[in-house]
Amino acid sequence: GAGVSQSPRYKVAKRGQDVALRCDPISGHVSLFWYQQALGQGPEFLTYFQNEAQLDKSGLPSDRFFAERPEGSVSTLKIQRTQQEDSAVYLCASSLERGDSYEQYFGPGTRLTVT
């Protein structure tokens, strides 16, 4: 079946521009997570949705980062006034969250480069 998809795969933004990154989770998956992965590092948690509710945004690095999932399916991560330190791969993961299943499935990521 179809996995998690993300678009665009690559994004180059000039410092100060706004960007929007899209995530299409696996159909029927209740939970959706965003992670940020710097070069050579493990992914770091940004935010979590259960259906359309954003239940945890403790990992968002600043108020320039905003995420939404208005209909409980597709999610968008928006970064306003991008800075060079925002350059990273942004990963989306979804999870069925049924019973005690904690398995998260990742998309290919969006590589953001801020120049």
Partner 1 sequence: QQQVKQSPQSLIVQKGGISIINCAYENTAFDYFPWYQQFPGKGPALLIAIRPDVSEKKEGRFTISFNKSAKQFSLHIMDSQPGDSATYFCAHTESGSARQLTFGSGTQLTVLP
* Measured distance CA(2)–CA(73) in Å, rounded: 14
Q: What's the closest the beta carbon of residue 1 comes to partner 1, in angstroms?
A: 15
Which is it for the CA torsion 77, 83, 85, 88, positive or negative?
positive
User: Which 21-60 residues touch partner 1, going by CB under 8 A?
Assistant: 31, 33, 35, 40-45, 48, 50, 55-56, 59
Q: Which is nearer to partner 1, 93 or 114 (CB)?
A: 93
Q: What's the closest the beta carbon of residue 25 comes to partner 1, in angstroms?
A: 13
Residues 6 or more apart in contact with residue 50 via CB below 8 angstroms: 30, 31, 97
Of 24, 67, 107, 112, the one binding partner 1 by CB under 8 A: 107
Of 7, 26, 51, 105, the one binding partner 1 by CB under 8 A: 105
Question: What is the CB-side half-sphere exposure of residue 96 using CA atoms within 13 A?
Answer: 6
103 is a site residue for partner 1 (CB under 8 A):
yes
**Which one-letter amino acid corresponds to residue 31?**
S
Contacts with partner 1 by CB under 8 A lie at 4, 31, 33, 35, 40-45, 48, 50, 55-56, 59, 91, 93, 95, 97, 102-109
